[in-house]
Structure 1
Amino acid sequence: MTTKATTDDTAVRTSVRVDAAPEHAFEVFTAGMDRWWTRAHHVQKGELKEIGVEPRAGGRLWEENDAGDVCTWGRVLTWDPPRTFAFSWLIGPNWQIPAEDAAGSRVTVTFTPTDTGTLVELVHDGFEVHGPGWEGVRGGVGSDGGWPAGLRQFAAAL
């Protein structure tokens, strides 16, 4: 497994090469998100009980806490297994439960076959839609503990 991450003014780009077919990588990234997601990364009070993806365009990315409260923090924009999964990131600079009408930046994950497995590339962009303080969102998801750690944990879950 090799990982690479870069951040510029407009996007966070992270990638990992994994020894798995694109179909399996896509399945673990989406349906298996609860197995690899950083447990401390949640917006509700309490502990993260479960996190998931509704597998269709327009579906929710959601979390449930240990009290049984559920919130939507993203929406599936592209559902094209095993090639592309894109979603809106509705969590803004306050890192709280997003409002129902929250604007979302975009996360696009592509799964490209290689000779030895799959190149998984993640691009998170469009941060400016979060309004004042959007740089904090970019900085958080682009830090080593953000998407780079997430992709390492995803690769380990494979």
Structure 2
Amino acid sequence: MQTINLTSIKKEFTVEASQQTAFEVFTRKIDLWWPRTHHIGSAELTEMVVEPHVDGRWYSKHADGSEANVGYVMTYQPYDLLVLAWQIDGDFKCNPNLITEVVTEFIPEGPTTTRVKFEHKDLHKLGNGKVVESMDQGWGEIMNLYKQFADQ
């Protein structure tokens, strides 16, 4: 069995939305497209939140009233760039001492078309093996859901 050693996950695609809409759907409307199956909470996911400012929290809310931290906002530049700190380790637990970066650029290609460049960097910090391999597929699914919602 071959082990894939990814250091980053990259996704690039075009959405049929203005740069402003693409950015706001990614940030302020993340709860509308984030899959309910992808969370680290101990109960059903009820809401995914990215607070729209530098040092804002990135977290999930759950049916039992609990919250689970995913990370925080490192860079918030409407409508060009969002950098999020991902603080979930290879065991899918929040680790406040860990930071890998989720960088998303929104590049206008026209009044109603935006190129989205997504990269989850520094994956070597999570260790090797199945976790990182499954993250590539997971981010692919998540970005596809975002694209479907942004294209509406």
TM-score when normalising by structure 1:
0.86
Superposition map of 1:8-157 within 5 A: 9-96=6-93, 98-99=94-95, 101-115=96-110, 117-130=113-126, 133-143=127-137, 146-157=138-149
Amino acid at match of 2:136: G
The code of the aligned residue for 1:76 comes to: V
User: How many pairs were matched up?
Assistant: 146
Q: Deviations over 1:72-92 (max 9, x none)?
A: 111111100100001111111
SS at match of 1:51: strand
Q: Cα deviation per residue 1:109-154 (whole Å; 9 max; x = unaligned)?
A: 0000113500011011112233xx34444322211xx111111111
Query: Which amino acid counterpart does residue 118 of structure 1 have in structure 2?
Result: T
Runs (4+) off by over 6 Å: none
Q: Gaps spanning 5+ residues in structure 1: where?
A: 1-6
Contact 1:42 1:48 in 2 (8 A): yes
Identity of aligned residues (%): 28
**Cα distance, 1:156–1:26 mapped onto 2, change above 3 Å:** same
The answer (yes or no) to whether the contact 1:76–1:88 under 8 Å persists in 2 is yes
CA distance in 2, matches of 1:137, 1:17: 27
Aligned to 1:43, the other structure's residue is in SS state: coil
SS at match of 1:142: helix
* TM-score (structure 2 length as normaliser): 0.89
Task: State the Cα distance separating 1:8 from its structure 2 match.
Answer: 6.9
Contact 2:5/2:128 (8 A) holds in 1:
no
- Residues 1:127 and 1:35: Cα distance change in structure 2 (over 3 Å): same
